[in-house]
Each structure stands twice: as structure tokens, then as C-alpha cells.
Amino acid sequence: MYTNISDTYNSIGFVKAHRVSDKDFTRSGSLTLPNLIEILLNTSHRSIKSEVSDFFLKKSPRSYRKQLLSKGAFTKARSKFKETALIELLQKSVSSFYRKVPLRERSQWHGFRTLAVDGSDLALPDYPDIRQTFGAHSNDSDVSVPMAKLSFLYDTFLDMPIDVQLDGNYSNERELAVNHLSQTGDNDLMLYDRGYYAYWFVLLHTHRQREFCFRLRRNANRQVQQFIDANKKQAIITLEATPGMRQQALEKGLEIVPVQVRLIRIKTSKGSYVLMTSLTDTRRYPAKHFYDLYHLRWRVEEGYKKQKAFLDVEDFSGRTVHSIKQDVHASAMVHALVAMECFAANDYRDPRIEKRKHRYKINFAEAIQSLKRRIIILLTERLNCFDIYKWLKAIATNLTIIKSGRSFERTKVRCRRKKLRKGYKV
């Protein structure tokens, strides 16, 4: 897989497709587009000067002294390629992985590939261009902070982002989710939290023949309120739409058609909530199975924790809009590569672990560090099977316990925003 990735970004067509100007990357030099991509994927959030120096020390130690470059040179070079290069690499890597792994080995629920969609806010460095492009958010103390809206289409079985949307703080998560649908297929089941339901959005899924499961607010519509008041366990209904809902759907170019959905009440220790799904076959998809289905959506929340706590996505390597977009998509690319690496390493786990009292999974944080130490070698050299086996075997020994059934109250914690260090980043 790494060979395919390397072959892609080293091709002339790839360079031409993603450079800013036809004059960019026409001369030979150290900071070529392939080298820039490898540096961004390999960054450990130190100073750019150290990152670039260490990269060339690893990749070409013999010519290391000739390639001591300034951070200004790196800043100028990275401005010559678009973030679409990293977007294409993520899409091709994910597609290649899915082709090699049979669906039966990666499907999660009744044969579906379960995909969760959720958004998160990213705190950005405070510079005029960034503030103007992404917008700002005011907190309780009336201090505005530049923020961006990030949205993931997330494979809940592999713990892997397969599509990333980045927009301004003003953008709507539902609108970003529409863009994700182009990366979905007929065998996908979409999972959404409470903020995503809208009549036109359900209608869009119907037209595109995508299965879905929404968690609903009580005031989602009149039919949901009636279902809750009747204390039913489940019901199959045809969605009703107000004139305003119909007008909104028509404005989005959607034909009004009857939509049949299923409402399911899920009981928990803290009460209950209602799900709406397109899976209306009650025998094939029993209501009792939907608690586990919706619980899978939480993995996208864990995905954001991995992005912010382990991959330090908010510790940006630049102070421009261009660099922020590159960093976000590079971080998503590394996240996907680590997820694929963990999936492959599962085959090399000690079978005796399965006999222990608790279940275990591969330690994601350790897997990130393992990939960071080897990513240059993986992308630039053709390793033999034995070297790959030793690497995956080492990853499979770093496990962490799975503590299921835990539940904690959500508390709002005000924390100091991490500031970009002037003179340290570029």
C-alpha cells in the first residue's frame, strides 16, 4: 500500500494536478512536492527547522550537509501546492485498502459498513487572514477566537476517517455532511447524532439510496412527539412535511416523494431516546439490535480525541490559511494510515490474550509513534515481508485494556487555548 501511495505522489500527473501555478516544481531541488508531502506526514510538532533537517537526515544522510534548508524555504515551497494533494492521497489510500480487505472482514453491523458523521471545532492561530477566512467564535468572556469547522466521515469498525471536510466556523454541519455522501456506497449505513435531522436531509438520502439512522430530539417533528407520548417501542410511519419543509427541499433541488421510516425507542439506565432509520424490515433488523448500532457512533467522537490529543491537529505548523488546510488533511491521512496499520497488526496478536478476563485492543498512541519512526522508510523503500512482519508484530504487543460499560457525566471545562509560538513555527 505504501508503495502505491509513493508512486501516486511521485507521478508527474499528480504534481501538475495539485500545484498552484504551472511554473511551480519545474526546477530540480530539495523541496519537491513528494518531499514536502513526506515532511508533513512525518512531522512530530517540533520546530520546522528540526523537522526538515531530520527528514533529510533520514532520507539521504550522505547529502545531508548540502540540504540544510531554512524554515523560510520550506514556507515558500509549501505555498506552491494545494491541500487537494493530501485529499486525493487519503481517498486513494482508503479505496486501495478496501479493495484488498474483503467486506466480510470489515463490516460491522448486519453486513453494512457503518459510517458515522460528526463535526468538531478547531481552534486556530489568531492572524488576520485566518480570522477573515474561517471566522471567529466568542466565548463567555466576549473574547473572540478564530475557529474552523471540521467534519469526518468515519468508518466505525476500522476507527478511520475516510473523508474530511474543513470549512469556516459559520458553516453548518449538515451541509458539510452532504459533501460526505459522494464517498459512500450502496452497502453503507450512515449514523447521525441529534443535530443532523432535517426533512430535506432524509429526502436526500432517499434519492441517493443511502440507508441511515438518526438520533432525534423530542421536538424533531409532530410525529416524533406523538410517538414519544404514546410510549410505543417502535413504529413505521410515512414522514409528513410542513409547507416550509417542502419549500426547503424544493430549493435544494429535491423532488418531494413519500418517505417511509421506522421510529425506535431505545431504553437506557438514564432514560430513553428515539432513533429514526430507513431500515423498516423488523424481522431482519430487530429493534433490540439498534442500541449497539447507535453506540458505534461514539467512535467518531473518539476519533476527534485521537486527532486532538494524540496527533495534535491543533498544533499547526504554519500561520497561513494554506498551511492550516494542509496540516488538517495531513493529520487525517496519518490517522487513516495508523488505523490500517492497527487492522493489519491484529492478525499478529498473541492468541493467549483472548483468554484473559478483559478484552484488549492495540494502543493507538503507540501505533502513531511506531508509524512516525518508520514512515519515511515505508514510503521511500520497498521493505521485504520479514521486515513488515517484525514491524506489525511489535505493534501487536502494545495493547491497552478495553473497559466497557463506563459512563461519565459531561462537564464543560474551560481550558487555556494553546497558542502558536512566534518564531517557532513558520
- Residue-wise pLDDT tens digits, 84-141: 999 999 999 999 999 888 766 666 799 899 999 999 999 999 999 999 999 998 866 6
Residue 155 DSSP SS3 = strand
Q: What distance in Å separates the CA atoms of residue 187 and residue 113, rounded to the nearest whole number?
A: 6
Q: What is the predicted pLDDT for the residue at 70? A: 79
pLDDT digits (tens, 9 = 90+) for 302-335: 999 999 999 999 999 999 999 999 999 999 999 9
Q: How many helices (H) and strands (E) does the chain have?
A: 17, 11
For the cut 70, the answer to whether the pLDDT of residue 424 exceeds it is: no
What are the beta bridge partners of residue 14? none
Q: What distance in Å separates the CA atoms of residue 370 and residue 43, rounded to the nearest whole number?
A: 13
Domains recognised in the chain with CATH numbers: 107-301 (3.90.350.10)
Least confident interval from 11-25, 50-64, 166-180: 50-64
pLDDT over 90 percentage in the chain: 65
Task: Please give the grid coordinates belonging to residue 112.
Answer: 453494512
- Output Rg (C-alpha) for the chain, integer angstroms: 23
Per the CB < 8 A criterion, the answer to whether 160 and 335 are in contact is yes
| Selected residue with higher pLDDT from 207 and 423 | 207
pLDDT digits (tens, 9 = 90+) for 142-158: 788 999 999 999 999 99
Residue 65 pLDDT level (bands cut at 50, 70, 90): low
384-389's contacts with Cβ under 8 Å and 24+ in sequence apart are 389/348
Q: What is the predicted pLDDT for the residue at 408? A: 57
pLDDT digits (tens, 9 = 90+) for 185-232: 999 999 999 999 999 999 999 999 999 999 999 899 999 999 999 999
Q: What pairing do the DSSP bridges indicate for beta strands 260-268 and 234-238?
A: antiparallel
Sequence length of the chain is 426
Query: How many C-beta atoms surround the C-beta of residue 78 within 10 A?
Result: 23
Using the structure block, give the residue that is written with the C-alpha cell 481550558: 415
Q: What is the predicted pLDDT for the residue at 374? A: 85
pLDDT over 70 percentage in the chain: 91
Task: Please give the grid coordinates belonging to residue 321.
Answer: 490559511
Q: What is the predicted pLDDT for the residue at 425? A: 46
Q: What is the predicted pLDDT for the residue at 409? A: 64
